[in-house]
Chains A and B, each alone.
Chain A
Amino acid sequence: MMMDIALFAAGFAAGTFGALLGIGGGVIVVPVLVLFAKIPIRIAIGTSFIAVLATSLSAASSYLKKGLCDIETGIRLEMATVTGAAIGAYLAGAVNPRVLQTAFAVILVYVSFAMLRKKGAAGKQSAFRSGLSRNQGHVADAVSFFAGIISGSLGVGGGLVKVPLLHRLLNFPMAEAIATSSYMIGITVATSTLVFTFRGDVDPYIAAPLVVGIFLGASQGARFMPKIPEKVLKVSFSLLLLYFSARFLIMGVG
């Protein structure tokens, strides 16, 4: 029972931060499960996928209602992302857990710095429907494949790769880049989760309180959003991620 309450609280915190900062929550859930609940990293990654899926579906549902998702471009890029996710999920089961811990530490450092540089979701909200040129398509496929590998192997959504790809390379307005990325994350993470589930690396009893916490936390986060200064939030979250990263690095290398 105490474990359930702790997991619910962790999910709630991840959901709140996720909503405040526009991330899926995997970068919080995996460290909490590994460092505090002492769950093996593979199970933590597999279970984190369920939490990321809940966040992604909830966000995508709202964005779809507003007509912000470019479904065609999203599905087009998913060809590469899904392939990368399956390879990443396979690699996560094949490599030494220490390699995963070190890779996760590196990703946390990247997310931490990317978070500080990230601008808000403000931007043109016009309906945007894109067509990819051949060159854009090749680069976008390569980046999507890379995002899939990261997502599939480390239990994160990969939004911090997908959003810049859509916004900078494919010239999506920021709001539509975030919306399309949320839709894409659902498909990518579902594929990775299937691989982890077949391997027995998902614990439904850990996932249940986490998902409920994330779901409720996300709605609270959206409510608190206007009250907390963005800079304070970003700096404190980045420091937290750097702390997690240091702990993972010590576990992985030490």
Chain B
Amino acid sequence: MGGNLDRKLAFLFRVFLYLSISAMIAGKIIHRFQSRVGDVTVNAGVYLIILCPLIGLLTVMFDSYRSGKRKLFLLSLAVSSLILLIMTVFLAAGRT
């Protein structure tokens, strides 16, 4: 069986997946009556599923910091920073 961090991540992934799928289904239904609210709900579902692995990375980062796993902390910090940098560059490029 997995360790504490493994179980935390497994729980996080499952919760986000169910939330995202529920939001997508609800959004599709709501869209028939209230298109604006439906749009927002479906988009929220999509963003939930996109952000889930990234929140997982932050969980690894905080957990490894608290448990003193220095190498894992530095690795997760580096990958999170890299993704944040990529997001910033593409967000900025989209605005210009």
Residues of A within 8 A of B (CB): 4, 50, 53-54, 56-58, 60-62, 64-69, 71-72, 75-76, 78-79, 82-83, 86, 90, 186-187, 189-191, 193-195, 197-199, 202, 204-205, 207-209, 211-212, 215
- Known: A71-B5, A205-B28. Is A190-B10 also a contact (CB below 8 A)? no
Establish whether residues B79 and A198, one from each chain, have CB atoms under 8 Å apart when the complex forms: no
Query: Is the pair A67, B13 in contact by a Cβ cutoff of 8 Å?
Result: no
Instruction: Return the chain B residue nearest A1 by Cβ.
Output: B32
Of the candidates B11, B53, B82, the one whose C-beta lies within 8 Å of that of A190 is: B53
Interface SS, A side: helix
Contact B24 A208 (CB under 8 A): yes
13 contacts between A and B (CB under 8 A): A57-B14, A58-B13, A61-B11, A61-B17, A69-B6, A79-B75, A79-B82, A83-B82, A186-B13, A187-B54, A191-B86, A198-B93, A212-B25
Interface string of B62-84 (1 = CB under 8 A from A): 00000000011001101100110
Q: Helix, strand, loop or mixed for chain B's interface?
A: helix
Closest CB-CB distance, A229 to chain B, in whole Å?
Answer: 31
The residues of B with any CB-CB pair to A shorter than 8 Å are 1-3, 5-7, 9-11, 13-14, 16-17, 20-21, 24-25, 27-28, 31, 39, 42-43, 45-46, 49-54, 56-57, 60, 71-72, 75-76, 78-79, 82-83, 86-87, 90-91, 93-94
Neighbouring A residues of B50 by C-beta, 8 Å: 50, 53, 190, 193-194, 197
